[in-house]
Amino acid sequence: METTRQRIADTLREGPATASDLGAALSLPTPVVYDHVEHVSRSVDGDAELLVAPPECRDCGFDGFDDPINEPSRCPECKSERIEEPAFVIR
């Protein structure tokens, strides 16, 4: 039986996914997925690495958020709440 983190890592090896995608696929709440992804990023095997496409503001395009693994509530530049989720993949 695989652990939740192993299932997340296996899913991310298949292709990019957001926390919402992972939560839906693995029946987990999105905030819990973010916690697991953070741990998976530290425990990826061998030459593989967790790549993150950072969150991006849909209104102004800002993508320089301090913590790219978590989804911010609003953009620090334009204050919009229309933020694209970060996407993760293991390569």
pLDDT of 46 over the 90 cut: no
pLDDT at 47: 92
* Domain that residue 60 falls in: 4-90
Domain count for the chain, please give it: 1
Confidence grade of residue 1 (pLDDT, cut at 50, 70, 90): confident
Mean residue pLDDT across the chain: 96
Single-letter amino acid, residue 56: E
> What average pLDDT does this structure show over 46-66?
96
CB atoms within 10 A of CB 43: 10
Question: What does the pLDDT read at residue 91?
Answer: 96
